């Protein structure tokens, strides 16, 4: 909430207080806020219950969990963590996920921003038509392209390879292009003209002016892409076959069978797999509310 | 050069001018090319990863290509007619549309009031926002796998554990009875998406100038009238974005039913996307898989532009 709107709410409260008697209205507002707190915190607790359930069971033996799945563990056991760390190649899967996510995000954001830059330098009729053609890509689900794409990737020798997976993720460049294009169009054209007069070339204007000025939307798009690629199951499951290439999401999926009888261990694997996303969430949390609007409103 | 300069006459001047224009044109043409080159990576990835495969899919849907032998023939529309007589496919079309429509409706009905409420500064509003939003950060596949345990009738099943403990109700077969399985998939889908969409609405709400509300407060409008009279119309553009995203992700649903029910019981939660992968990649029925892809593409495009059209019309009427 911005300072301006906080100020105006206060102003509104003051107006009300003046028109409706001094204390009654204010006391009612407090009562409403208290009620909201209770109701909303209860709802949030309900929504978060699955996460509590996941984490609390990682410290229990299967017997403890079966008796009371929601109770606190007594005694605490770290057996599940030992079990999972010893039986699942966690470092390898995290490494694979990190590799495809970093390269995939860099490539799509770079490509998308380049195209958005070109669009903003020359918004000609032909380029606007190109934009329209690219829009169709957003409507085409991956499943529609998967059969021929798979054949093409086999021919190119890029199946069951992490780099091949990154190439498939590059289709996301079109999405980045749209969001970034919307934002870049709000950057004053005078800045570009001034740089041209100073003798800046096409790539200099891109690297020194448009990219730094687009940082807020680049961050938003990078966040979307990071969550999307890190969590991707469909594409990775289609193009990767050997378990040494598995990303962490594939690893969790393929371990379900292994842990059917020992579900506290499965919850432990889940918990470990969620750690990077939780850390990422804590970092971006403040950014996302404003950023989501920045990307969407202008895009 | 010097000699020529001294011998300058009008025609020479004109000549230099022309050469200058030619030079400038060359510079501008080079610049144009340099700018257009910035489109290349995106356009290349679009052509190779989206356009060519989509066109191939549509072309393959009229053949009996099996994925291995290149001796295939045109079979006309027979792949398409085979689709609609296959119960596994008609069931998946039904459930996919049901899921997309139901999650879109329920998420929208919940997300807007939630966004309005968490925009109020009550005690703990930031925590509530964070918790709601967090549900949409982890992988949907991983969360769905966890939900299979939560909904299980066995010892791990918290839902049944609570139902029994609180109301004495016997174990409910959430995932193995047709309608309950469909309901479960939809409810988990709502749970996983509602937070993200309320944050989307919240972002728009925060960009709404509060003068509107001040004016309404002074006029003495009730909270309900403020909600329907000011908030909902102002959120119309946000609703367009949110509803389109929900419909598209709803039609593309894949991981959630796969992890929760594997499409069962008896096709009741099969999705179109699951069938495309089954037919096209696993079973080598490329013709039918491609035909289903083509139908699916048409469905997505119709829904996308239909929804966009309706919502844009509504936006214009409300503002």
Do the Cβ atoms of B63 and B75 come closer than 8 Å? yes
| Closest to A122 (Cα-Cα) out of A197, A199, A198, A205 | A205
Interface probe with B: pick from A25, A140, A287, most Cβ of B within 10 Å: A140
CA–CA separation, A205 and A122 (whole Å):
13
CB contacts, 8 Å: A130 with chain B: 39, 43
The helix or strand, by DSSP H or E, that contains position B59, with its residue range, turns out to be helix B52-60
Q: Check residue A288 and give its pLDDT.
A: 64
Q: What is the average per-residue pLDDT within A115-138?
A: 90
Tokens of A94: 């995290």
- What is the pTM assigned to this prediction? 0.82
Asked if A194 has any chain B CB less than 8 Å from its own CB, the reply is: no
Query: Would you tell me which residues 73-92 of chain B have a C-beta closer than 8 angstroms to some C-beta of chain A?
Result: none
Considering the domain boundaries, does residue A222 fall inside one?
yes
- CATH number for position A230: 1.10.3720.10
Tokens of B267: 């096709």
Query: Would you tell me which residues 224-263 of chain A have a C-beta closer than 8 angstroms to some C-beta of chain B?
Result: 227, 230-231, 233-234, 238, 249, 252-253, 256, 263
Query: Would you tell me which residues 38-77 of chain A have a C-beta closer than 8 angstroms to some C-beta of chain B?
Result: 40-41, 43-44, 47-51, 53-54, 57, 65-70
Asked if B61 has any chain A CB less than 8 Å from its own CB, the reply is: no
Three-state DSSP state, A186: coil
CA–CA separation, B274 and B253 (whole Å):
9
Do the Cβ atoms of B199 and B112 come closer than 8 Å? no
Q: Check residue A54 and give its pLDDT.
A: 87
Strand partners, B63: B74
Helix axes B236-251, B87-118, angle to 10 degrees: 150
Please count the structural domains in chain A. 1
A157: Cβ contacts below 8 Å, ≥ 6 apart:
none
Phi, psi of A226 (to 5 degrees): -60, -50
**Mean pLDDT of the residues in chain A:** 84
Q: Check residue B12 and give its pLDDT.
A: 60
CA–CA separation, B261 and B11 (whole Å):
85
CB contacts, 8 Å: B146 with chain A: 50, 53-54, 267, 270
Q: Check residue A299 and give its pLDDT.
A: 34
CB contact under 8 A, B141 and A206: no
Return the number of other C-beta atoms located less than 10 Å from residue B3's C-beta.
6
Alpha helices in A122-214 (DSSP H): 125-139, 142-155, 162-169, 173-184, 189-197, 202-204, 211-213
Return the number of other C-beta atoms located less than 10 Å from residue B158's C-beta.
21
B228: Cβ contacts below 8 Å, ≥ 6 apart:
none
Q: Check residue B310 and give its pLDDT.
A: 83
Considering the domain boundaries, does residue A249 fall inside one?
yes
Phi, psi of B262 (to 5 degrees): 55, 25
Q: What is the average per-residue pLDDT within A128-132?
A: 91
- The more confident residue out of A257 and A22 is A257
CA–CA separation, B235 and B237 (whole Å):
6
Q: What is the average per-residue pLDDT within A265-277?
A: 90
Based on DSSP, count helices (H) and strands (E) in chain B, helices before strands: 17, 0
Asked if B52 has any chain A CB less than 8 Å from its own CB, the reply is: yes
How far away is chain B from the Cα of A99, in angstroms, using its nearest Cα?
A: 17
Q: What is the average per-residue pLDDT within A146-160?
A: 90
For B221, half-sphere exposure in the C-beta direction (CA atoms, 13 angstrom radius) is 17
Do the Cβ atoms of A109 and A221 come closer than 8 Å? yes
Instruction: Give me the long-range contacts of B299-302 (CB less than 8 A, separation at least 24).
Output: B299/B97, B299/B251, B299/B272, B300/A139, B300/A140, B300/A141, B300/B248, B300/B251, B300/B252, B301/A139
CB contact under 8 A, B41 and A40: no
Considering the domain boundaries, does residue A296 fall inside one?
no
| Closest to B136 (Cα-Cα) out of A172, A143, A292, A141 | A292
Q: Check residue B13 and give its pLDDT.
A: 59
Considering the domain boundaries, does residue A147 fall inside one?
yes
Asked if B238 has any chain A CB less than 8 Å from its own CB, the reply is: yes
Give A9-50 pLDDT, tens digit per residue: 545 544 444 455 556 777 877 888 888 889 889 888 888 888
Asked if B211 has any chain A CB less than 8 Å from its own CB, the reply is: yes
Q: Check residue B319 and give its pLDDT.
A: 60
Considering the domain boundaries, does residue A26 fall inside one?
no
CA–CA separation, A165 and A172 (whole Å):
12
Do the Cβ atoms of B136 and A292 come closer than 8 Å? no
Asked if A292 has any chain B CB less than 8 Å from its own CB, the reply is: yes
pLDDT band of A172, cuts 50, 70, 90: very high
CB contact under 8 A, B41 and A203: no
Q: Check residue A4 and give its pLDDT.
A: 45
Place of tokens 């680049």: A218
What residue of A is the nearest CA neighbor of B158? Answer: A69
| pLDDT at A241 exceeding the cut of 50 | yes
How far away is chain B from the Cα of A248, in angstroms, using its nearest Cα?
A: 10
Q: Check residue B190 and give its pLDDT.
A: 94
How far away is chain A from the Cα of B228, in angstroms, using its nearest Cα?
A: 19
CA–CA separation, B315 and A67 (whole Å):
54
Give A39-80 pLDDT, tens digit per residue: 889 888 888 888 988 888 889 888 787 777 777 887 888 888
A280: Cβ contacts below 8 Å, ≥ 6 apart:
A226, A227, B137
Q: Check residue A5 and give its pLDDT.
A: 47
CA–CA separation, A108 and B45 (whole Å):
10
How far away is chain A from the Cα of B280, in angstroms, using its nearest Cα?
A: 6
Return the number of other C-beta atoms located less than 10 Å from residue B171's C-beta.
14
Give A83-105 pLDDT, tens digit per residue: 888 888 999 999 999 999 999 99
Three-state DSSP state, B285: coil
CB contact under 8 A, B124 and A41: yes
pLDDT band of A115, cuts 50, 70, 90: very high
Interface probe with A: pick from B64, B69, B115, B139, most Cβ of A within 10 Å: B139
| Closest to B254 (Cα-Cα) out of B155, B152, B138, B144 | B144
Strand partners, B74: B63
Q: Check residue A2 and give its pLDDT.
A: 43
A-B C-beta contacts closer than 8 Å: 298
Nearest to A41 among B128, B200, B217 (CB): B128
Q: Check residue A278 and give its pLDDT.
A: 87
Return the number of other C-beta atoms located less than 10 Å from residue A46's C-beta.
11
- The more confident residue out of A177 and B222 is A177
Q: What is the average per-residue pLDDT within A110-124?
A: 94
Asked if B210 has any chain A CB less than 8 Å from its own CB, the reply is: yes
Q: Check residue A22 and give its pLDDT.
A: 53
How far away is chain A from the Cα of B225, in angstroms, using its nearest Cα?
A: 17
The helix or strand, by DSSP H or E, that contains position B306, with its residue range, turns out to be helix B286-318
CA distance to A1, A182, B207, B211, B259, per residue, from A4 (Å) = 8, 26, 11, 10, 46
Query: Would you tell me which residues 154-183 of chain A have a C-beta closer than 8 angstroms to some C-beta of chain B?
Result: 167-168, 170-171, 173-174, 177
CA–CA separation, A218 and A207 (whole Å):
13
Do the Cβ atoms of A232 and A81 come closer than 8 Å? no
Query: What's CA B123's distance to the chain center, in Å?
Result: 34
CA distance to A44, A176, B233, B234, per residue, from B308 (Å) = 32, 20, 16, 17
CB contacts, 8 Å: B216 with chain A: none
CA distance to A5, B192, B256, per residue, from A44 (Å) = 25, 13, 22
Nearest to B204 among A107, A145, A293 (CB): A293
Give the residue ranges of chain B where pLDDT is below 70.
1-19, 66-71, 155-156, 208-214, 216-218, 318-319
Identify the domain containing residue A239 by its residue range: 90-255
Three-state DSSP state, A140: coil
Interface probe with B: pick from A137, A148, A196, most Cβ of B within 10 Å: A148
Strand extents, DSSP E, chain A: none
Considering the domain boundaries, does residue A140 fall inside one?
yes
What residue of B is the nearest CA neighbor of A139? Answer: B301
Asked if A211 has any chain B CB less than 8 Å from its own CB, the reply is: no
């Amino acid at each position: 909430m911005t300072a301006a709107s906080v100020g105006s709410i206060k102003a509104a409260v003051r107006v009300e207080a003046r028109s409706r008697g001094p204390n009654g209205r204010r006391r009612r507002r407090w009562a409403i806020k208290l009620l909201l707190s209770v109701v909303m915190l209860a709802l949030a607790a309900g929504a978060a219950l699955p996460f509590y359930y996941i984490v609390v069971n990682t410290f229990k033996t299967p017997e403890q969990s079966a008796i009371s799945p929601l109770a606190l563990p007594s005694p605490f056991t770290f057996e599940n963590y030992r079990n999972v760390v010893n039986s699942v190649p966690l470092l390898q899967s995290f490494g694979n996920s990190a590799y495809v996510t970093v390269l995939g995000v860099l490539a799509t954001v770079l490509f998308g921003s380049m195209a958005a830059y070109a669009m903003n330098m020359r918004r000609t009729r032909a380029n606007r038509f190109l934009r329209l053609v690219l829009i169709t890509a957003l409507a085409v689900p991956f499943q529609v392209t998967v059969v021929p794409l798979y054949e093409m990737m086999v021919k190119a020798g890029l199946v069951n390879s992490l780099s091949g997976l990154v190439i498939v993720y590059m289709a996301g460049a079109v999405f980045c292009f749209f969001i970034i294009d919307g934002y870049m169009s709000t950057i004053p054209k005078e800045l570009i003209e001034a740089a041209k007069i100073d003798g800046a070339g096409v790539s200099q204007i891109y690297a020194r002016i448009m990219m730094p000025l687009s940082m807020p939307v680049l961050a938003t798009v990078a966040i979307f892409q990071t969550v999307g690629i890190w969590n991707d199951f469909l594409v990775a499951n289609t193009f990767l076959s050997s378990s040494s290439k598995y990303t962490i999401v594939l690893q969790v999926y393929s371990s379900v069978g292994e842990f059917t009888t020992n579900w506290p261990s499965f919850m432990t694997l889940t918990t470990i797999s969620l750690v990077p996303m939780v850390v990422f969430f804590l970092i971006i949390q403040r950014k996302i509310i404003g950023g989501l609007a920045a990307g969407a409103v202008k895009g | 050069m010097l000699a020529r300069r001294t011998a300058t006459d009008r025609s020479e001047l004109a000549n230099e001018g022309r050469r200058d224009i030619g030079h400038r044109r060359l510079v501008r043409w080079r610049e144009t090319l340099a700018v257009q080159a910035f489109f290349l990576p995106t356009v290349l990835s679009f052509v190779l990863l989206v356009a060519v495969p989509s066109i191939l899919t549509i072309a393959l849907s009229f053949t009996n290509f099996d994925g291995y032998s290149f001796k295939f023939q045109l079979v006309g529309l027979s792949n398409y007619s085979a689709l609609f007589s296959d119960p596994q496919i008609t069931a998946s079309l039904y459930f996919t549309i049901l899921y997309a429509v139901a999650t879109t409706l329920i998420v929208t009905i919940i997300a807007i009031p939630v966004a309005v409420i968490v925009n109020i500064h009550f005690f703990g509003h930031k925590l509530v926002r964070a918790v709601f939003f967090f549900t949409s950060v982890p992988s949907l596949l991983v969360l769905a796998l966890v939900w299979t345990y939560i909904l299980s009738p066995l010892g791990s099943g918290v839902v049944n554990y609570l139902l029994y403990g609180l109301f004495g109700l016997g174990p409910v077969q959430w995932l193995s009875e047709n309608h309950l399985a469909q309901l479960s998939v939809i409810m988990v889908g709502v749970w996983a998406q509602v937070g993200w969409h309320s944050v989307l609405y919240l972002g728009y709400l925060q960009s709404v100038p509060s003068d509107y509300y001040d004016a309404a407060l002074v006029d003495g409008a009730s909270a309900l009238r403020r909600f329907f009279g000011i908030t909902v119309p102002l959120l119309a553009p946000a609703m367009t974005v949110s509803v389109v995203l929900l419909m598209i992700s709803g039609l593309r649903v894949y991981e959630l039913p796969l992890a929760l029910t594997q499409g069962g019981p008896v096709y009741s939660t099969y999705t179109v996307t699951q069938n495309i992968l089954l037919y096209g990649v696993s079973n080598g029925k490329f013709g039918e898989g491609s035909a289903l892809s083509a139908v699916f593409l048409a469905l997505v495009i119709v829904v996308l532009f239909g929804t966009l059209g309706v919502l844009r019309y509504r936006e214009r009427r409300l503002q």
